[in-house]
Structure 1
Amino acid sequence: MQEALLEVKQLKKHFPIEGGVLKQQVGTVKAVDGVTFTLHKGETFGLVGESGCGKSTTGRMLMRLLEPSEGEVLFNGREMTSLSKNEMRHLRKDIQMVFQDPFASLNPRHTVEKIIEEPLIVHNLGNKAERKKRVKELLEIVGLSSYHAKRYPHQFSGGQRQRIGIARALAVNPKLIIADEPVSALDVSIQAQVLNLLEDLQKELGLTYLFIAHDLGVVRHISDRVGVMYLGRIVEMADSEKLYLDSKHPYTQALLSAVPVPDPEYGKDRIILTGDVPSPSNPPSGCPFHTRCPKAMDVCSSVVPEFREVEPGHYTACHLYEEDHV
């Protein structure tokens, strides 16, 4: 039995919609609406879905950059959502984040040395000489040179800037790294280099990753398990290979049918979803996917499907796999 590092239970984030002269609440955006999963030590858990499904919001709540509306987050058995700011600051030494945009997440007025050194200063790690040495070590670890330390972010390419972001995250020896679409802003060839770097660092340093992305090809390459999100909820979760070879939920099947295959001779049935993604401020009743689902039944429009295990280690929220319909 693998040891759980992070446990997320019924996590929700609802944003109020204000209107009128008095700015009264007139509605709610359910950005994340009951996400539950467990992340084991040393594994990579991929969280995927369309833009706006709530995956980045989930990652930011785990860092407490956004405060959850409801739910529990346990890190090494310790409940995080009730911690004070000071307690959370100490815990962030073990949980670091790599952001999507490597330019926006780096201070343009600071040198690379100062950017990477800052977490060491915040957590009071080492004296000045030790911190300078650590910065040079980190630059070498992520594939840059120590002479890059005196340069500024604008003097680097996108891939190099993301390596700097990874070095900053590694500075305090974290146990968990939340990578929020870390390669989506990079060229394909650079994406492969950064993914390989993350895999090498995981093996060398024993890291655990929550890898957030919308590119299913990237997620398959790096993830041990995958959770598929739709409209603020996880609708399917399984081992990476099992999910890609035998997906259960119609939404996952539609996403996988859209993944390009590098073989012009290979014919592939494309599942075209009709309609637009419903608004999280006014989600449909019953199954949130039923308005676009090619396999929708009468029960789907009125009853929310239970997220349940349909095969060992394979979970889905779909009425097709309930005993009445199997």
Structure 2
Amino acid sequence: MIEPLLKVNNLKKYFPIRKGVLGREHGSVKAVDDVSFYVNEGETLGIVGESGCGKSTTGRMIMRLLDPTEGSIEFEGKDLAKLSNAEMRNARREIQMVFQDPYASLNPRHSIRKILEEPLIVHGLGDAKERSRRVNELLEIVGLSSYHAKRYPHQFSGGQRQRVGIARALMTNPKLIIADEPVSALDVSIQAQVLNLMQDLQKDLKLTYIFIAHDLGVVRHISDRVGVMYLGKMVELAESEQLYNNPLHPYAKGLLSAVPVPDPDFKREQILLTGDIPSPSNPPTGCTFHTRCPFKTDICKTVVPKLVEVEKGHSVACHLYDEQFNNDI
């Protein structure tokens, strides 16, 4: 059996809440709370959820832009959570990130050539001539031209800037790219171009993606498997078509029922999720979704459901599908 490229086990990230003159800790924000998943080489794992569910924090921990509170992040057999800063810098040759805002992630004082050469300089790859050739090559690959290298970020459109961001992520020939809402700041027509570019690059360069987004339509278009997060936890994980055709978790059902369908004759039952998302600094006991769930039972208020596989390749964290619970009642 082939081992996954990336395995995330029991990952947690708690941000301390400090109060008073002495800054004493008075609790914590549970941004990511016991999340586990794997990513196979060459596939795209989509991670979806409402704002504040912890999906971007998860991506940043895999890159070690944030240090995890607990858990392991195994990439090609190495636990990234235990690497020193110098070792992690070397590991980032194989793992790169595409950020949400292409303008904020590019230094406005640097030319595109300088921005793209920087990863090669940091990792000591090639001489000046080879770096210049690599910049020109990557600009052509992402649909720009070599003469664009002299320009600055403000001289590009949003879609072009995101292409530059993708080119920068590809400079060191990575195996895994974490795309954190890479098209949410772009117009719909440009979104399709960037998504198609990412899919073409995946085939040509044998890339593996973690694609983080809140747009379920975009995620369906690009992902092989999809994980749904709610309040720091993974509540459902399945193959893309399996999840979209047969969502099991009430939260996933609610999200999918709100996705518009381009067919005026298509009718679907709308599941309204009442109430607001609870605060991650004071999450509900038991199942964190029980305060908004139309199907909750007494056990949902006290017992935390585990993410269990209920059918081949389809896992859900819900007491409605917990065989042990169902056998007891």
Q: TM-score, normalised by structure 1?
A: 0.99
1:298-313 matches, cutoff 5 A: 298-313=298-313
Match of 1:31, as an amino acid? A
Contact kept, 8 Å, 1:44 with 1:224, in 2: the verdict is yes
The separation in 2 between residues aligned to 1:322 and 1:124, in whole angstroms, is 52
1:1-326 matches, cutoff 5 A: 1-323=1-323, 324-325=325-326
The separation in 1 between residues aligned to 2:3 and 2:188, in whole angstroms, is 34
Match of 2:316, as an amino acid? T
CA-CA distance at 1:318 after TM superposition: 0.3
- Residues 9-67 of structure 1: per-residue CA shift (max 9 Å, x gap): 00000000011122111111000001100000000000100000000000000000000
- Residues 210-262 of structure 1: per-residue CA shift (max 9 Å, x gap): 00000000000000000000000000000000000011000000000010111
SS of the residue corresponding to residue 81 of structure 1 reads: helix
The separation in 2 between residues aligned to 1:105 and 1:154, in whole angstroms, is 12
Match of 2:203, as an amino acid? K
CA-CA distance at 1:265 after TM superposition: 2.1
SS of the residue corresponding to residue 262 of structure 2 reads: coil
SS of the residue corresponding to residue 64 of structure 2 reads: coil
Of all paired residues, the percent bearing the same amino acid is 70
Moved over 2 A (4+): 323-326
Contact kept, 8 Å, 1:11 with 1:34, in 2: the verdict is yes
SS of the residue corresponding to residue 67 of structure 1 reads: coil
Contact kept, 8 Å, 1:236 with 1:252, in 2: the verdict is yes
Match of 2:326, as an amino acid? H
Match of 2:36, as an amino acid? T
The separation in 2 between residues aligned to 1:120 and 1:25, in whole angstroms, is 41
The separation in 2 between residues aligned to 1:319 and 1:109, in whole angstroms, is 53
The separation in 2 between residues aligned to 1:238 and 1:209, in whole angstroms, is 16
SS of the residue corresponding to residue 263 of structure 2 reads: coil
Contact kept, 8 Å, 1:2 with 1:41, in 2: the verdict is no
Match of 1:191, as an amino acid? Q
Gaps of 5+ in 2: none
Contact kept, 8 Å, 1:49 with 1:229, in 2: the verdict is yes
The separation in 1 between residues aligned to 2:301 and 2:108, in whole angstroms, is 50
Q: What is the root-mean-square deviation in Å for CA atoms of aligned residues? A: 0.8
- Residues 158-194 of structure 1: per-residue CA shift (max 9 Å, x gap): 0000000000000000000000000000000100000
CA-CA distance at 1:268 after TM superposition: 2.0
Match of 1:199, as an amino acid? Q
SS of the residue corresponding to residue 235 of structure 1 reads: strand
CA-CA distance at 1:322 after TM superposition: 1.7
Contact kept, 8 Å, 1:53 with 1:229, in 2: the verdict is yes
CA-CA distance at 1:307 after TM superposition: 1.1
- Residues 134-166 of structure 1: per-residue CA shift (max 9 Å, x gap): 100000000001110000000000000000000
The separation in 1 between residues aligned to 2:322 and 2:133, in whole angstroms, is 58
The separation in 2 between residues aligned to 1:186 and 1:234, in whole angstroms, is 27
Aligned CA distance change for structure 1 residues 244 and 2 (closer, same or farther; 3 Å): farther
CA-CA distance at 1:2 after TM superposition: 4.4
The separation in 1 between residues aligned to 2:268 and 2:234, in whole angstroms, is 26
Match of 1:238, as an amino acid? A
The separation in 1 between residues aligned to 2:21 and 2:81, in whole angstroms, is 34
* Equivalent pairs, count: 326
The separation in 2 between residues aligned to 1:124 and 1:306, in whole angstroms, is 45
The separation in 2 between residues aligned to 1:247 and 1:266, in whole angstroms, is 18
The separation in 2 between residues aligned to 1:15 and 1:236, in whole angstroms, is 24
CA-CA distance at 1:7 after TM superposition: 0.4
The separation in 2 between residues aligned to 1:51 and 1:9, in whole angstroms, is 23
Match of 1:312, as an amino acid? K
The separation in 2 between residues aligned to 1:318 and 1:69, in whole angstroms, is 25
